[in-house]
Amino acid sequence: MHMSYQVYYHRVTRGWEAHMLCLFRLAHEMAGEGKLPPATPRVVSRFFSESGAISHGDFLSFDEPQMIAALHVWTEQESTEADAIRLGGLASAFLQRRKLFHTTDIPEKDPMKASYEKLLSLKDQHKVEGIDYHHDNASFKGYKDFGSSVVHEGTDGDPMEDGSEGIFLADGEPFSHSTIPVETDNRALITPALIQRGQRPLNRVFELIAPSSHCPLN
């Protein structure tokens, strides 16, 4: 659980995913209008124009080098169209690892109201969801407890249906399913930072900022 919060759901990790999703959404819209730069690799153009429903042959040839080549093409194209310029800026920043998205954490107190107000303010600024900003609203439940007799949140049909919201220790016996929450074990030498009981919402908005307003990763 600690690694999930500190790595997979870290704001920098999620920020780069938001960047990529907005880049891909813009590429998809441009492909649908036939506006992707002509030098874009054909398999990449087909991927975006067909919403990912590519043939088996395209699937085999659509790899990371194809996508990297497309990013370079989009970066170097000289179109004066607004969408092409924005696509080039997103592609260039992604290749060079330049931060273009500002992170706003939504307060945990009344998050629905706070989210609504933030998203409404972005729409009032004529920002487009999925291109100018990405609302990242995830709720991490923790890992499966595999039928723990101490904490059991599954159902009779599937004892592992729901994960428990804690960090668990096994009893050390081979093939045993007995686990206990780590904070109930006096032998556990663990820092308070690792004891994360309860559900922690991860509610953020990643907003595209002006290219001249690059700021360091946080």
Written out in words, the top-level CATH class of the domain with range 2-139+201-213 is mainly alpha
pLDDT bin (cut points 50, 70, 90) of residue 155 is low
CA–CA distance, 129 with 138 (Å, rounded to integer): 17
Reported pTM: 0.70
For 9-65, what is each residue's pLDDT tens digit?
888 889 999 999 999 999 999 999 999 999 999 999 999 999 999 899 999 999 999
Mean residue pLDDT across the chain: 78
pLDDT bin (cut points 50, 70, 90) of residue 150 is very low
The secondary element (H helix, E strand) that includes residue 130 is none
Residue 110: the pLDDT is 83
Strand order from edge to edge, sheet including 133-140: 101-105, 200-208, 133-140
Q: For residue 48, what are its two tokens?
A: 């975006």
Nearest to 204 by CA among 124, 125, 115: 115
**Where in the chain are the domains?**
2-139+201-213, 142-198
Hunting for tokens 């007995």 — which residue is that? Answer: 178
